[in-house]
């Protein structure tokens, strides 16, 4: 349990915590009261329908986590041993892990220094005859530049699938279209700190009927739904099912998803106003073609100019009861992958990982909290 107040009575500000209401309680209680607590039950289908409609896609399939959603998306696109999947070096490790689960090879690309997304210019040189998919990740809620990626793969021999990782970007828009239906298939996460939550959970979203059918079967032990009564399994599948209890929370959260997105954007606007002009502090930008949902409001700290290191600032804010977090350590610097990429450098990804600071950004964070955080940052710097 996280205490909301500290011993001295000052409020503690969590980086991102779920916001739950009576509606979640009512729906979960309904599952318990009616005994529908496994992955069968009415909330699963309802959550999938609501989510597909929200994104504007034909199919949405609920699964046990965002990582499971990524993994199944890759399997459904036929990614297997010997294949390569291109993804940004600056992302969460789950992206590379999903590729590794298939015994395929993650191929890393640096980020663009402006919006911190996979750099389309650097993708072209990484494509080989083994490339089966590209995984753009909408980092921190800002969309990746999908059209440029599509342009890059357009004339390649053989299909290269675009698998969006939209785990941080529910409601984000690229040129007026919601992310999650820009490529062949996409993965969302409903972990407790995401835009909406089911505690743990994920969703695969696609317009492609074949991919949807494969994912439906694969999440459920490779079951052949067409031959249900004979209990036929057509592949080595997984148990990646979401429970009705989780989906009940998801259905309740969907009632507020627009409000949550608006909240994240409002918090970002406040941070931008209050932190603007502080030397050594670089604020996130929104491309003119983008609507970011600012899943995490992330600033970069330039130690020399700011007069304090990123890590020292994290510690200082922590002492004041303000929870912040370092940006992702890039994939090639993570222990399980360092051997694979030991000669490669990704300077932008490394710089983002070294300088990036996630400020409190969740649905729990109030305007007053933002004021406190900004004041604490100014004071830390001047101390």
Ligand X SMILES: *Cc1c(COP(=O)(O)O)cnc(C)c1O
For binding to ligand X (CB under 6 A), which residues are involved?
65-67, 91-92, 94-95, 137, 165, 167-168, 189, 191, 202
What CA–CA distances, in Å, run from 180 to 99, 110, 263, 311?
Answer: 19, 22, 20, 34
Under DSSP, is residue 155 helix (H, G, I), strand (E, B) or coil? coil
Joined tokens for residue 176: 């007026």
Element (H, E) at 161: strand 161-165
Burial class of residue 318 in the structure, from the number of CB atoms within 10 Å of its CB (0-12 exposed, 13-18 middle, 19+ buried): exposed
Pairing mode, strands 84-88 and 131-134? parallel
* b/e per residue 158-175 (b: at least 16 CB within 10 A): eebbbbbbbbbbbbbbbe
Strands (E), 192-332: 202-206, 281-282, 290-291, 297-301, 325-326
Residue number, 18 or 321, with CB nearest to ligand X: 18
The nearest distance, CB 194 to ligand X, in angstroms, is: 6
Beta bridge partners of residue 204, listed in sequence order: 61, 187
CB 374 to ligand X: min, Å: 25
- Note whether 238 and 218 are within 8 A (CB): yes
Pair 365, 265: CB distance under 8 Å: no
> What strands lie across the sheet with 177-178, from one edge to the other?
177-178, 173-174, 290-291
In whole angstroms, the minimum distance from the beta carbon of 202 to ligand X comes to 5
Least Å distance, CB 185 to ligand X, is: 14
| Closest residue by beta carbon to ligand X | 66
Q: What is the CA radius of gyration of the chain?
A: 21
Q: Which CB sits closer to ligand X, 193 or 217?
A: 193
Q: CB of 273: closest distance to ligand X in angstroms?
A: 26
Of 167 and 348, which has the nearer Cβ to ligand X? Answer: 167
CB 251 → ligand X: shortest distance, Å? 18
Contact at 8 Å (CB) between 269 and 286? no
Nearer residue to ligand X within complex by CB, 95 or 160: 95
Q: How far is the CB of 38 from ligand X (least distance, A)?
A: 20
Q: CB-wise, 65 or 324, nearer to ligand X?
A: 65
Q: Least distance (Å) from ligand X to the CB of residue 164?
A: 10
Residue among 75 and 380 whose Cβ is closer to ligand X: 75
Comparing CB distances to ligand X, the nearer of 189 and 363 is: 189
Strand order in the sheet with 297-301: 281-282, 297-301, 356-359, 325-326
Decide whether 86 or 377 has the Cβ nearer to ligand X. Answer: 86
Smallest distance from the beta carbon of 155 to ligand X, in angstroms?
29
Give the integer Cα–Cα distance in Å for 6 and 342: 44
Alpha helices in 102-208 (DSSP H): 120-123, 146-153
184/306 with CB nearer ligand X: 184
On whether the CB atoms of residues 51 and 203 are closer than 8 A, the answer is yes
Min dist. Cβ of residue 73 to ligand X (A): 11
Cβ-based nearer residue to ligand X, 189 or 206: 189
Q: What's the rounded Cα separation, in Å, for the pair 315 and 322?
A: 9
CA nearest to 239, candidates 113, 112, 93, 63: 63
């Amino acid at each position: 349990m996280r205490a909301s107040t500290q011993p001295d009575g000052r409020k503690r500000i969590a980086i991102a915590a779920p916001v739950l209401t009576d509606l979640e309680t009512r729906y979960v209680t309904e599952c318990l009261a009616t005994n529908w607590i496994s992955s069968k039950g009415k909330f699963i289908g309802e959550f999938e329908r609501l989510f597909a409609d929200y994104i504007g896609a034909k199919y949405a399939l609920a699964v046990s986590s965002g990582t499971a959603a990524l993994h199944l998306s890759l399997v459904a696109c036929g990614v297997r041993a010997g294949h390569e999947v291109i993804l940004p070096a600056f992302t969460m490790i789950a992206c590379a892990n999903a590729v590794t689960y298939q015994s395929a090879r993650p191929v890393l690309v640096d980020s663009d220094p402006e919006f911190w997304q996979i750099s389309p210019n650097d993708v072209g040189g990484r494509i080989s005859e083994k490339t089966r998919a590209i995984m753009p990740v909408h980092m921190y809620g800002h969309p990746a530049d999908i059209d440029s990626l599509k342009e890059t793969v357009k004339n390649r021999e053989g299909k290269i699938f675009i698998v969006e990782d939209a785990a941080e970007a529910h409601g984000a828009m690229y040129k007026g279209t919601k992310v999650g239906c820009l490529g062949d298939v996409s993965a969302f996460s409903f972990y407790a700190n995401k835009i909406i939550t089911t505690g743990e959970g994920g969703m695969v979203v696609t317009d492609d009927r074949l991919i949807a059918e494969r994912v439906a079967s694969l999440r459920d032990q490779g079951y052949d739904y067409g031959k249900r009564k004979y209990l036929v399994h057509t592949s080595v599948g997984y148990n990646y099912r979401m429970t009705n209890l989780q989906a009940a929370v998801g259905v309740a959260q969907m009632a507020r998803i627009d409000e949550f997105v608006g909240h994240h954007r409002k918090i970002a606007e406040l941070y931008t106003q209050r932190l603007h002009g502080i030397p050594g502090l670089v604020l996130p930008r929104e491309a003119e073609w983008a609507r970011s949902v600012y899943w995490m409001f992330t600033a970069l700290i330039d130690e020399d100019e700011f007069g304090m290191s990123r890590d020292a600032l994290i510690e200082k804010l922590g002492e004041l009861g303000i929870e912040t977090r370092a940006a992702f350590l890039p994939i090639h610097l993570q222990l399980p992958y360092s051997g694979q990429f030991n000669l490669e450098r990704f300077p932008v990804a490394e710089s983002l990982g070294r300088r990036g600071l996630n400020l409190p950004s969740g649905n729990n964070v109030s305007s007053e909290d933002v004021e406190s955080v900004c004041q604490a940052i100014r004071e830390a710097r001047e101390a």
